[in-house]
Structure 1
Amino acid sequence: MEKEIITIEKTKRTTEILIGLIVVALIAAGSLTFLSRGDTNDDFIVQGNVKMTDIDLNSKLAGNIGEILVKEGDEVKAGDVIIKISSEAVEAKLKQAEAAKAAAEAVAKKAENGARSQEVAQAKAAFDYAQKTYDRMKTLLEQEAISQASFDQVEAQYIAAKETYNMAVEGARSEDVAAADSQVAQADGAIAEVNSYLNDAQIKAPVDGTITSINVNQGELISTGMPLATLTTKEEAWIEVNVKETDLGKVQEGQEVQITFPAYPDKQYKGKVTVINKKPDFATKRATNENGDFDVLSYGVKIAISAIDKELYSGMTAMVDFGRNEGK
């Protein structure tokens, strides 16, 4: 009887061990199957960032910040004045240029209109007197009453008076008129140049957008080319990711992708690969025993976003799912 009980216990124990081994084997087999399936079907997900078109608003003039008319976050339209640069020195130059133009116009007008009637009459009287003197002295010369030198002096005065009278009657020569007109044109150019400086003293928005940064303070001294503010345009945002060259076979232009944002974890959006940069960005992994004797480079991939209903901000994180690896 004891032997039968011992045999039953052994059989029971053996059965339990066998069942345990079978369970462990099944679990192991399931795990391997799951891992194998996971390795085959893992989504290819890459982290990227939202990109927007940012425009730095620079200054062509050196000077002091006279007035800042916006603040960060303000919406602006193309042509809106963002910042004014103090322009007292430029305005003084404008007055000088306008005065120079007025003087040039007076000279040009005189050249075009010729001498006034009073000036013509005065020149005529001087010429008549010189001619009478010339005739009288010529007679005296013929009578040998005066020397040739005395006559030559009178003759020279007569010729000068005659030329002065003729100029008064005929007006300025065409060359003189042209020279006067060129002085006016030169003055106009100087005024236009100064006005361009005044225009540059007003920093304006080139397109519609949002002021995302103001880099100066009122009264601050600035130099030419200094970025004063940043304008983010209203153009549609996009996502940019860096894909390792070893994964480029999983990405194609026109490929549909799924996008999620950590800021909006409960929503998923669609996108499309629009550009795969042909130029590498940087080495993402140095040569090791694992990846061989070459550096793994990354390439920029641009993705357009479809039907976004949330506010996006430049630089925010995005996760891009390029789809399953199966068949790729």
Structure 2
Amino acid sequence: MQQGKNRKLFLGGAAIALIIALTASYLLQRDDMKGFIKSNGRIEVTPLDISTKLPGRIETILADEGDYVEAGQVVAVMQLDSLEAQLEEAKAYFQQAKHNADSAKAMVAARMSDKEAAEAAVSAKESQLYAAERKMKRIETLVKKGATTEQEFDDQEAYTRVLTAEIATAKSKVLAAQAAVDAAKAQSVAAESQVLAAQATINRVNADIKDSKLVAPVKGRIQYRISEPGEVLGAGGKVLNLLDLSKVHMTFFLPTQYTGLLVEGENDGTEVRII
């Protein structure tokens, strides 16, 4: 009795398989399948390596094989201790350079003040000389009239010569003050350059820190973890391999007898269906 039951199940299964086979044959031979060529091929995705820009040790990897990641997502971080120390050093140098630049500006202002004082001294001596020369002319007139002595004229003339010499000295001080101003301005320019150099160093180290955080260049799927945390890599060392899902293509193998029926680039409605 059990054998009869098994025989019935076998016959039932065979009948179902036959129906499926006939249905598939019918579908494949239907008119709407005419013109289709059955063959095989492979789907390929463009792989991308996520690599280091700078040499260093891998601190952590934030993505595993098979994970989907977005463009710009951080997937690995390199060790940052050395770069962070460089950043602190650069910031300290920047503060020092800025202090030096401020001091240089103050020195320029002081030297400008010294120059103005020297120029004021020249003006004062020139005013005294002008008054002394006028007085000397008046005394000369009085001497000719016999109203005063020649000694008074000689004294006034000597005083005038002293003022002339003092003016020459004062003008030399103006020139020295101008040279000091020029030197102070040059030091100020150099100090400002040091500030710019310090800021550039800060920007460079910040850029290196940013580059030490490896990001996915495009949206895709992690295929391989090439390296592991703790490994030391050189510049360009590969950490992860990413499949760019926006660039998927298929290699289709066409039977030889059909190759002459297709023209590359022809817009004739040719299409590929994956079944």
Q: So what's the TM-score if we normalise by structure 2?
A: 0.55
Q: CA RMSD, aligned part only?
A: 3.6
> Residue in 2 aligned with 1:210?
221
> Residue in 2 aligned with 1:49?
42
Write out per-residue CA displacement over residues 51-87 of structure 1, whole angstroms, 9 at most, x where no aligned residue: 2232211111111110111212222222211001112
> Residue in 1 aligned with 2:51?
58
SS where residue 256 of structure 1 aligns? coil
The CA deviation at 1:170 is 5.2
> Residue in 2 aligned with 1:225?
236
**Identity score, percent:** 26
The CA deviation at 1:173 is 3.6
Higher strand share: 1
- Aligned match of 1:111 in 104, 108, 116? 104
> Residue in 1 aligned with 2:74?
81
> Residue in 2 aligned with 1:239?
250
Rounded to whole Å, the distance in 2 between the matches of 1:172 and 1:108 is 14
SS where residue 235 of structure 1 aligns? strand
Does residue 1:183 correspond to 2:194, yes or no? yes
Q: Which runs of 5+ in 1 are unaligned?
A: 1-40, 125-157, 261-267, 269-328
The CA deviation at 1:105 is 1.0
The CA deviation at 1:176 is 2.4
The CA deviation at 1:93 is 1.6
Any conservation in 2 of the 1:57–1:203 contact (CA below 8 Å)? yes
Write out per-residue CA displacement over residues 204-229 of structure 1, whole angstroms, 9 at most, x where no aligned residue: 11222222221111111112212211
Moved more, 201-210 or 231-240: 231-240
> Residue in 1 aligned with 2:19?
none
What amino acid is the match of 2:216? A
Does residue 1:201 correspond to 2:215, yes or no? no
What amino acid is the match of 2:44? K
The CA deviation at 1:45 is 4.7
Rounded to whole Å, the distance in 2 between the matches of 1:169 and 1:95 is 36
CA change 1:246–1:256 in 2 (3 A) is: closer
Of the two structures, which has the highest relative contact order with CA contacts closer than 8 Å and spacing of 6 or more? 2
> Residue in 1 aligned with 2:160?
none
The CA deviation at 1:245 is 9.2
Rounded to whole Å, the distance in 2 between the matches of 1:112 and 1:172 is 12
Write out per-residue CA displacement over residues 104-140 of structure 1, whole angstroms, 9 at most, x where no aligned residue: 11111111222798xx89xx9xxxxxxxxxxxxxxxx
Any residues of structure 2 matched to 1:116-155 within 5 Å, and which? none
Paired residues, number? 183
Write out per-residue CA displacement over residues 217-265 of structure 1, whole angstroms, 9 at most, x where no aligned residue: 11111122122112223426331236699965333224523433xxxxx
Higher helix share: 2
> Residue in 1 aligned with 2:65?
72
Any conservation in 2 of the 1:214–1:228 contact (CA below 8 Å)? yes
SS where residue 229 of structure 2 aligns? coil
Rounded to whole Å, the distance in 1 between the matches of 2:174 and 2:230 is 63
Q: Which runs of 5+ in 2 are unaligned?
A: 1-33, 118-168
Q: So what's the TM-score if we normalise by structure 1?
A: 0.47
Rounded to whole Å, the distance in 2 between the matches of 1:185 and 1:246 is 72
SS where residue 72 of structure 2 aligns? coil
> Residue in 1 aligned with 2:270?
256
The CA deviation at 1:177 is 2.0
Moved more, 174-183 or 163-172: 163-172
Any residues of structure 2 matched to 1:290-301 within 5 Å, and which? none
Any conservation in 2 of the 1:114–1:168 contact (CA below 8 Å)? no
Runs (4 or more) in structure 1 with deviation over 4 Å come to: 41-46, 162-165, 167-172, 242-248
What amino acid is the match of 1:87? L
CA change 1:163–1:85 in 2 (3 A) is: farther
